[in-house]
Chain A
Amino acid sequence: MELSRRDFLKLCGASAAVLGVGATVPPSTLTPKKSSAPVAPRKAAGVLIDTTKCVGCKSCQTACKQANGLPTEDRPGALSATTLTIVDFRNISTNPQQPEIKPVKRQCMHCEEPACVSACPVGALVKQETGCVTYDESVCIGCRYCMVACPFGMPKYNWDSANPKINKCAQGCMANGKRDKPVCVSACPQQALTYGSREELLTIAQARIHENPGKYVNHVYGAKEIGGTTMLYLSGTPFEALGFRTDLPDIALPSLTWDVQTKIPGVFLGAFALLSGVAWWTHRAERKPARVRVPPPVPVPVNGDDDD
């Protein structure tokens, strides 16, 4: 009894240590990705979306659908499993008599520290070196925790399929080195979309704000929200009028759960030690007489009722 318990404790300690090691290894090394792109890894790149230049022609939307092999004949009203980017027409006027429509392109924000990547239990979502958050359907279990975690509600699901996937912009148009910039960027006739490294884009955005006083709101959406996003927005009207969530915190959401997750090994070992101590203390009276008695006249219960 004594021995078996000690062995057991050792075993548990060892397994907890293994778990602890697992918890400190970043997810990308635990689930190595097959490298799909033969091109050399680029610097993290994003897109600056200048909504003041957008005229709402939907070229980006159609180009995206064509590049990803999605149905182009539907007229989507919102992002969905078959619409990975959309031009959303918002009424920014406060006067109901005079509506003022403003088009805004929407797609996955490719966060710097994505909540969906942190949430996925199996590592189907991965933040790539290119700045893009990709999805691997062969790994996914369909738990939809990424949809719960995403503050922008970008992952969409094939609700009407027996073999559903998570659908969002994963820059699939650039997979296998097919293109050097996303199709939505090259499709835009107004050059409202700029592709480049995040630092570059932030500099460009700040420059535009300073060079055109009064044209822009003095804020780059995505610079700080949720720890920063790779997709950045400039706007001439307040962002909440364009349907952006402006109440988002500046901290990266994954840090909230990671703070808890890192306490798991400690809680496990602490609880194990505490409960072992309690069990040892509460059973002290039963151990003593057994050691004194020689030979032990303990009746062996045939229909044991002291075991579970």
Chain B
Amino acid sequence: MSPTLQFLLTVFVGFIVLVAPFVLIFGVLYPLKRRLEPQTEIAPSRFKMPFNAHPIAIAAMCLVVVAAIGIVGYALVTSQFVDLMTLFRDVVVLAYMFLLRVVAPFVVLYFAGSWLERKLNPAAARARRPIGERVPILKRLPQLTPRGTLFMLFITILWLSAIGIAISRFFFGLAYVTNLTDEFPWGLWIGFDVVSGVALAAGGFVVAGTVHVFNLKRYHPIVRPAILTALLGYLLVIFGLLFDLGRWYNVWHPIFMWNAHSPMLEVAWCVMLYTVVLMLEFSPVVFEKFKIQWALKIMRAITIPLVILGMCLSTLHQSSLGTLFVIAPEKINPLWCSAWMPAFFFLSAVGVGLGMTILESNFSSRALGRELESHLLAGLGRAASVVIAIYLIARFVELIARGAIGYAFQPGFHMTIFWIEILLGFVAPMVLMAFPRARAKPGLVFLSGGLIVFGVVFNRLNTSLLGWWQYAKGGAVYVPSLNEIIVTVTLISVGVVVFGLAAKFLPLFPAEAHAHA
């Protein structure tokens, strides 16, 4: 087949795949329905469909889609219809590339333009009717504030692109969406989504332990959001891991097939168990919402053992994420790779647990219009300062004892990122939060929390990605592709959206009266 013919066929099949459902609905099913029951009107429903399709038509369409996915999946697994599959792949890639590279910039341009118009020529901007009234289809959507509309558009484009990327990745392989190679087998999805994600979810065990084990009751108002953040974090870690695992359908194997020599097995088990523990720790919120008193009573009785178990599991797998990289000293820069990485990973996880709780409280108070628990956050900042001080001392003592401190003064890429990580990510928040006057300012506490999160995420990325930029032959490096970044951002946005929904529908935050009790 000539390339031209292939291209034309690709366009043709793409057109069919993308347009056929609409032709089927509006051209066949809809007129057919009108013909069959010309008199009846659809009863007003709570759910307004964008078009008046009959439920049977919708069900049929769903069936077609499911069958199509099934056929495509079968064809892929059995490696049949290779040419057709190539066409399908090209169509999918074209579709989400169109979304990413054409639609998304257009939307960004539109909003930038209207913002500029509001700034430069407010009179003209005010005279213009809002877009929601000018474009007919937007009238059907729920009316949102301009910021809400922007957020919804951003989420829509992001999630649609992520679905396209997911199709490419799960049906065709990692090569079509990632920049991973045999020399860099782990990329952003492991370095950020999994290794950093688990660290960022450490707030759950830190705050729950503070309140229930160390019995510092005044931190109680921030326990529930911290546990929810951790739970969402772990669920997204598992979801992100499914994206990265080549043979993801075997993801259950670590439950039954053990190699006790592998730190990966330890991480898998602890993440599984701790996710269950987090669900149990979070369950009182759900029980309270639905007023299931007997379940609440049981949960109240086992809270402390449960929290202790959660802390032990967290200690193990937060450190085991460091153990993962202990086996590759000949690949990772000695500034990060050491036998004490497990201890460093655990200590910095405690620090970032505190930092992430500060961030999460600030974000939720801003987004949900809640009062900020500044006095509690200042306390967390103070604790983080102590933890980071211990971390930094341990890390530098170990670097000197191992004789690797020289690498910190060898000019080059790794020296630069090492000092950015240490100074900006660890020293700056530690110094800031050591002063009571800085802790009294909520803005500075917020900044410190942000710096800690940056520092620990940067540390994880340096260990798992950037610290590797030295060993490969010919100076090969790994830089994440746009697709990998989009999936990562999508996972974060899913977390944010679910957190917002939970805050709306569940008793996540105590009533203000209790907050100061």
Q: A308 an interface residue at 8 Å Cβ cutoff?
A: yes
Contacting A279 at CB < 8 Å: which of B77, B213, B326? B213
- For residue A1, give the distance in angstroms from its CB to the closest CB of chain B: 6
In the complex, A139 Cα to B253 Cα: how many Å? Answer: 7
- The reply to whether B302 and A162 form a contact with Cβ atoms under 8 Å apart is no
- The reply to whether B253 and A260 form a contact with Cβ atoms under 8 Å apart is no
Contacts of B250 in A (CB 8 A): 122, 139-142
Scan residues 277-293 of chain B and give those whose CB is less than 8 A from a CB of chain A.
Answer: 281-282, 284-285, 288
- The reply to whether A160 and B257 form a contact with Cβ atoms under 8 Å apart is no
Contacts of A253 in B (CB 8 A): 327-329
- The reply to whether B263 and A257 form a contact with Cβ atoms under 8 Å apart is yes
In the complex, A182 Cα to B123 Cα: how many Å? Answer: 83
What is the chain B residue whose CB lies nearest that of A154? B182
In the complex, A306 Cα to B217 Cα: how many Å? Answer: 9
Q: A172 an interface residue at 8 Å Cβ cutoff?
A: no
**Interface code A253-284, partner B: CB below 8 Å = 1, 0 otherwise?**
11011111100100110011001101100110
- The reply to whether A160 and B176 form a contact with Cβ atoms under 8 Å apart is yes
Scan residues 302-346 of chain B and give those whose CB is less than 8 A from a CB of chain A.
Answer: 302-305, 308-309, 311-312, 315-316, 319-320, 323-331, 339, 342
Among the 9-residue stretches A24-32, A92-100, A212-220, A291-299, the one with 4 or more Cβ atoms under 8 Å from chain B is A24-32
Task: With A27-B258, A307-B296 as known contacts, state yes or no: A275 contacts B311, CB within 8 Å.
Answer: yes
- The reply to whether A254 and B261 form a contact with Cβ atoms under 8 Å apart is yes
Q: B173 an interface residue at 8 Å Cβ cutoff?
A: yes
- The reply to whether B172 and A160 form a contact with Cβ atoms under 8 Å apart is yes
Q: B214 an interface residue at 8 Å Cβ cutoff?
A: yes
Q: B265 an interface residue at 8 Å Cβ cutoff?
A: yes
- The reply to whether B327 and A121 form a contact with Cβ atoms under 8 Å apart is no
Q: A120 an interface residue at 8 Å Cβ cutoff?
A: yes
- The reply to whether B211 and A159 form a contact with Cβ atoms under 8 Å apart is no
**Interface code B25-46, partner A: CB below 8 Å = 1, 0 otherwise?**
0000000000000000000000
In the complex, A283 Cα to B217 Cα: how many Å? Answer: 11
- The reply to whether A256 and B316 form a contact with Cβ atoms under 8 Å apart is no
In the complex, A122 Cα to B288 Cα: how many Å? Answer: 40
Task: With A122-B259, A141-B245, A256-B326 as known contacts, state yes or no: A5 contacts B288, CB within 8 Å.
Answer: no
Contacting B330 at CB < 8 Å: which of A120, A247, A260? A247
- The reply to whether A120 and B170 form a contact with Cβ atoms under 8 Å apart is no
- Of B181, B250, B269, B299, chain A has the most CB atoms within 10 Å of the CB of B250
Scan residues 477-506 of chain B and give those whose CB is less than 8 A from a CB of chain A.
Answer: none
In the complex, A141 Cα to B303 Cα: how many Å? Answer: 35
Contacts of B266 in A (CB 8 A): 261, 264
Contacting A304 at CB < 8 Å: which of B185, B212, B284? B284
- The reply to whether B173 and A160 form a contact with Cβ atoms under 8 Å apart is yes
Q: B21 an interface residue at 8 Å Cβ cutoff?
A: no
What is the chain B residue whose CB lies nearest that of A265? B316
Contacting B245 at CB < 8 Å: which of A142, A249, A272, A306? A142
- The reply to whether A141 and B172 form a contact with Cβ atoms under 8 Å apart is no
In the complex, A275 Cα to B412 Cα: how many Å? Answer: 44
Q: A9 an interface residue at 8 Å Cβ cutoff?
A: yes
In the complex, A275 Cα to B304 Cα: how many Å? Answer: 10
Q: B209 an interface residue at 8 Å Cβ cutoff?
A: yes
Task: With A27-B260, A268-B316, A272-B312 as known contacts, state yes or no: A245 contacts B330, CB within 8 Å.
Answer: yes
Among the 9-residue stretches A65-73, A143-151, A199-207, the one with 4 or more Cβ atoms under 8 Å from chain B is A143-151
**Interface code B117-155, partner A: CB below 8 Å = 1, 0 otherwise?**
000000000000000000000000000000000000000
- The reply to whether A164 and B258 form a contact with Cβ atoms under 8 Å apart is no
In the complex, A268 Cα to B245 Cα: how many Å? Answer: 28
In the complex, A267 Cα to B322 Cα: how many Å? Answer: 15
- The reply to whether B296 and A304 form a contact with Cβ atoms under 8 Å apart is yes
What is the chain A residue whose CB lies nearest that of B73? A162
In the complex, A245 Cα to B311 Cα: how many Å? Answer: 42
Q: B247 an interface residue at 8 Å Cβ cutoff?
A: yes
Q: A176 an interface residue at 8 Å Cβ cutoff?
A: no
- For residue B1, give the distance in angstroms from its CB to the closest CB of chain A: 20
- For residue B363, give the distance in angstroms from its CB to the closest CB of chain A: 20
Q: B460 an interface residue at 8 Å Cβ cutoff?
A: no
Q: A303 an interface residue at 8 Å Cβ cutoff?
A: yes
Contacting A278 at CB < 8 Å: which of B77, B170, B213? B213
What is the chain A residue whose CB lies nearest that of B180? A159
- The reply to whether B214 and A308 form a contact with Cβ atoms under 8 Å apart is no
Q: A157 an interface residue at 8 Å Cβ cutoff?
A: yes
In the complex, A283 Cα to B329 Cα: how many Å? Answer: 45
What is the chain B residue whose CB lies nearest that of A258? B261
Interface residues on chain B, size class: 35 or more
- The reply to whether A305 and B514 form a contact with Cβ atoms under 8 Å apart is yes
Q: B174 an interface residue at 8 Å Cβ cutoff?
A: yes
Contacts of A19 in B (CB 8 A): 269
- For residue A228, give the distance in angstroms from its CB to the closest CB of chain B: 16
Task: With A145-B324, A248-B330, A253-B327 as known contacts, state yes or no: A22 contacts B308, CB within 8 Å.
Answer: no
Q: B224 an interface residue at 8 Å Cβ cutoff?
A: yes
- For residue A283, give the distance in angstroms from its CB to the closest CB of chain B: 6
Q: A76 an interface residue at 8 Å Cβ cutoff?
A: no
In the complex, A306 Cα to B254 Cα: how many Å? Answer: 37
In the complex, A137 Cα to B180 Cα: how many Å? Answer: 21
- For residue B222, give the distance in angstroms from its CB to the closest CB of chain A: 11
In the complex, A22 Cα to B180 Cα: how many Å? Answer: 34
- The reply to whether B328 and A149 form a contact with Cβ atoms under 8 Å apart is yes
In the complex, A141 Cα to B246 Cα: how many Å? Answer: 7
- The reply to whether B227 and A260 form a contact with Cβ atoms under 8 Å apart is no
Contacts of A261 in B (CB 8 A): 260-261, 263, 266, 323
Task: With A142-B246, A264-B316, A275-B209 as known contacts, state yes or no: A308 contacts B329, CB within 8 Å.
Answer: no
Q: A242 an interface residue at 8 Å Cβ cutoff?
A: no
Task: With A268-B312, A279-B308 as known contacts, state yes or no: A256 contacts B339, CB within 8 Å.
Answer: yes
**Interface code A200-239, partner B: CB below 8 Å = 1, 0 otherwise?**
0000000000000000000000000000000000000000
Contacts of B285 in A (CB 8 A): 308
Scan residues 68-83 of chain A and give those whose CB is less than 8 A from a CB of chain B.
Answer: 79-80
Q: B215 an interface residue at 8 Å Cβ cutoff?
A: yes
- The reply to whether B260 and A308 form a contact with Cβ atoms under 8 Å apart is no
In the complex, A22 Cα to B261 Cα: how many Å? Answer: 10
- For residue A65, give the distance in angstroms from its CB to the closest CB of chain B: 18
- The reply to whether B263 and A278 form a contact with Cβ atoms under 8 Å apart is no
Task: With A4-B305, A139-B253, A268-B312 as known contacts, state yes or no: A260 contacts B263, CB within 8 Å.
Answer: yes
In the complex, A68 Cα to B261 Cα: how many Å? Answer: 30
Q: B268 an interface residue at 8 Å Cβ cutoff?
A: yes
- The reply to whether B263 and A163 form a contact with Cβ atoms under 8 Å apart is no
What is the chain B residue whose CB lies nearest that of A226? B330
Q: B264 an interface residue at 8 Å Cβ cutoff?
A: yes
- The reply to whether B76 and A9 form a contact with Cβ atoms under 8 Å apart is no
- The reply to whether B258 and A162 form a contact with Cβ atoms under 8 Å apart is no
Q: Can you list 23 contacts pairing A with B, beta carbon distance less than 8 Å? A: A4-B305, A8-B305, A30-B257, A30-B258, A30-B259, A117-B261, A120-B262, A121-B262, A121-B264, A140-B247, A142-B250, A153-B183, A157-B185, A159-B174, A164-B174, A260-B263, A260-B326, A268-B312, A272-B309, A283-B215, A308-B208, A308-B224, A308-B282
19 further interface pairs, Cβ-Cβ under 8 Å (given A158-B246, A164-B246, A259-B339)? A19-B269, A23-B260, A30-B260, A121-B259, A122-B257, A137-B247, A142-B245, A143-B264, A149-B328, A159-B181, A159-B182, A248-B330, A260-B263, A260-B326, A260-B339, A261-B260, A264-B266, A267-B316, A308-B282
Ranked nearest first, the 10 interchain pairs of A and B with the lowest CB-CB distance are A142-B246, A282-B215, A159-B175, A142-B247, A147-B185, A121-B264, A8-B305, A144-B185, A27-B259, A121-B265
